[in-house]
């Protein structure tokens, strides 16, 4: 984002970025998606060579083809999330562990080179943690793997990897503490979000949340409920489709080569850790977008589970007598075709709208940026859209008008309020519903509301049917 020049102007007169004069693509999002897809292709290449090292070329080619043909990874590649980068980091980490384990069984490296490999494993895990804090919990299975399968120097390798991880993470933690008095900023509050203490998105929208209430029972309940959901819905689809069934059944089959067996132990340890972390760190984001979200950590294991699934499938295929060798390739092709059907069906009508499910109006957010100055403060129920498309500071809609008034009176004046269908659907019965309904029906805001100016229909960039409303302090559209 600092290297590539982003253009937020939304040129509606250019065909590629607009469709019949209506916003269609944002240039920054398009560039980010291209970058993510480059990471996707690199991950596919690394996965191919990792599978070939662990098994054979047939498993490698089949795994790479299925990885490339899985719809879930393509959806993540155009989501704008850091998941594709984390996938690349995780596959690289697996490479390091495989090399270290191999040297523990068949030493060919010197002690210095082996220690450098352990340092690389710790640095890669730290890099993943700086990308997404929850990734840092994988240092536990990394250290356990090195301690169990690192060979004669395993205690030294495990300690070295942990120290390297800490060296990468510590400066950023210190910086966070100096800025916010918390080691991980707002990410640390995900433990309490969407729990019995703060249901849905109430924690993020609170001005003075009470974090001193008893928390053990609420967190235990959150862990149990979310873990049950993960075990029912996500674990059976680790690879983005039904192929994970081969991985689960294949756990009962051993390998002649200890390398793949030990890497499978690492995958299982990582699975247990990530289920625990994902269950406790779940927030409203998983409700807004159940599968494509930054809290979906199990998807990081999907490439490796895909490799083990293919290996077990080909193991079963080798037990079948086929009169012609060509039939084997035909069965493998049909297997890949069946696994890639979700991806193939995305090209069939009806086409899905490429934008997210939120009521995004990028052009509206851009006009809000034109109406306000960079130093002014806005408020919305989709503040991320206003901040991204409009390039303006935006506060999440407070839970009540009292908190709204406190911010406006004691912190900074609000210049504009932008309400969408999100506040009507997710916060039924709240005071904001009354404000929104009153304005949508053509009336003025409530008397106690500090903002009074409502754009007329011909000047309102929001939905003219009243689904979205805008209120400003002065008649800014003039």
Residues 6+ apart with CB under 8 A from 94: 50, 263, 266, 304
- Report the relative pairing of strands 22-23 and 18-19 from DSSP bridges: antiparallel
Q: Mean pLDDT for the chain?
A: 89
Q: For the purposes of burial, counting CB atoms within 10 Å of the CB of 213, is it exposed (0-12), middle (13-18) or buried (19 or more)?
A: exposed
* Residue 355 in this model has a pLDDT that exceeds 60: no
Tens digits of residue pLDDT in 81-121: 999 999 999 999 999 999 999 998 888 888 899 999 999 99
Looking at per-residue pLDDT, the higher value among 72 and 428 belongs to 72
How much of the chain exceeds pLDDT 90, in percent? 55
SS3 breakdown of the chain: % helix, strand, coil, rounded to 5? 60, 5, 35
Contact indicator for 33, 77 with CB cutoff of 8 Å: yes
What pLDDT, on the 0 to 100 scale, is given for residue 322?
Answer: 85
Q: Which of 306, 330, 300 is nearest to 88 (CA)?
A: 300
- List of E strands, 24-182: none
Tens digits of residue pLDDT in 278-330: 999 999 888 888 889 999 999 999 999 999 999 999 999 988 888 888 899 99
Contact indicator for 176, 312 with CB cutoff of 8 Å: no
Of the segments 17-21, 78-82, 234-238, 343-347, which one has the largest average pLDDT value?
78-82
- Report the relative pairing of strands 377-380 and 393-396 from DSSP bridges: parallel
What pLDDT, on the 0 to 100 scale, is given for residue 358?
Answer: 62
Phi, psi of 428 (to 5 degrees): -65, 135
Here the tokens at position 209 are 């949340």
Terminal C-alpha separation, the chain: 34
* Residue 271 in this model has a pLDDT that exceeds 90: yes
* Residue 425 in this model has a pLDDT that exceeds 80: no
* Residue 356 in this model has a pLDDT that exceeds 50: no
Q: CA 251: distance to chain centroid?
A: 28
Looking at per-residue pLDDT, the higher value among 462 and 192 belongs to 192
What pLDDT, on the 0 to 100 scale, is given for residue 91?
Answer: 97
DSSP type of residue 193 = B
Q: What is the arithmetic mean of pLDDT over 37-61?
A: 96
What pLDDT, on the 0 to 100 scale, is given for residue 464?
Answer: 47
What pLDDT, on the 0 to 100 scale, is given for residue 427?
Answer: 61
The rounded radius of gyration (Å) of the Cα atoms in the chain is: 26
What pLDDT, on the 0 to 100 scale, is given for residue 465?
Answer: 52
Here the tokens at position 167 are 């060296």
Tens digits of residue pLDDT in 109-168: 888 999 999 999 999 999 999 999 999 999 999 999 999 998 888 999 999 999 999 999
């Amino acid at each position: 984002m600092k290297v590539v020049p982003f253009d937020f102007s939304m040129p509606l007169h250019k065909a590629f970025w607009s469709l019949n004069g209506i916003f269609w693509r944002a240039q920054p999002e398009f560039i980010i998606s291209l970058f993510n897809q480059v990471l996707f292709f690199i991950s596919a290449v690394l996965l191919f060579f990792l599978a070939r090292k662990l098994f054979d070329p047939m498993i490698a080619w089949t795994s790479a083809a299925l990885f490339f043909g899985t719809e879930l990874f393509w959806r993540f590649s155009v989501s704008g999330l850091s998941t594709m980068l984390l996938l690349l980091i995780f596959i690289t980490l697996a490479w390091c562990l495989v090399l270290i384990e191999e040297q523990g069984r068949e030493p060919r490296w010197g002690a210095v080179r082996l220690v450098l490999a352990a340092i690389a494993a710790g640095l890669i895990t730290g890099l993943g943690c700086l990308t997404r804090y929850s990734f840092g919990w994988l240092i536990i299975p990394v250290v356990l793997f090195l301690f169990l399968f690192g060979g004669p120097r395993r205690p030294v390798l495990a300690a070295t990897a942990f120290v390297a991880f800490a060296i990468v993470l510590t400066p950023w933690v210190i910086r966070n503490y100096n800025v916010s008095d918390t080691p991980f900023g707002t990410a640390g509050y995900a433990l309490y979000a969407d729990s019995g203490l703060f249901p849905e998105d109430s924690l993020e929208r609170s001005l003075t949340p009470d974090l001193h209430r008893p928390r053990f029972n609420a967190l235990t309940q959150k862990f149990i409920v979310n873990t049950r959901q993960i075990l029912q819905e996500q674990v059976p689809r680790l690879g983005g489709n039904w192929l994970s069934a081969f991985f689960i059944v294949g756990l009962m089959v051993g390998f002649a080569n200890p390398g793949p067996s030990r890497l499978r132990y690492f995958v299982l340890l990582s699975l247990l850790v990530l289920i625990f972390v994902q269950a406790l760190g779940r927030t409203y984001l998983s409700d807004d977008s159940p599968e494509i979200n930054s809290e979906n950590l199990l998807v990081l294991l999907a490439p490796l589970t895909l490799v083990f699934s293919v290996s077990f499938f080909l193991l079963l295929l080798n037990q079948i007598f086929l009169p012609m060798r060509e039939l084997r390739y035909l069965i493998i092709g049909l297997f890949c075709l069946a696994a890639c059907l979700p991806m193939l069906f995305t090209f069939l009508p009806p086409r899905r709208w490429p934008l997210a499910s939120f009521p995004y109006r990028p052009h509206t957010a851009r006009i809000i940026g034109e109406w306000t100055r960079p130093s002014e403060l806005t408020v919305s129920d989709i503040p991320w859209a206003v901040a991204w498309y409009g390039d303006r500071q935006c506060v999440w809609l407070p839970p009540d008008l009292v908190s709204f008034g406190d911010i406006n009176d004691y912190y900074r004046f609000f210049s504009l309020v932008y309400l969408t269908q999100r506040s009507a659907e997710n916060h039924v019965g709240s005071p904001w519903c009354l404000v929104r309904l009153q304005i949508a029906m053509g009336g003025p805001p409530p008397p106690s509301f500090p903002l009074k100016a409502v754009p007329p229909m011909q000047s309102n960039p929001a939905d003219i049917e009243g689904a979205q409303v805008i209120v400003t302090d002065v008649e800014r559209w003039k």
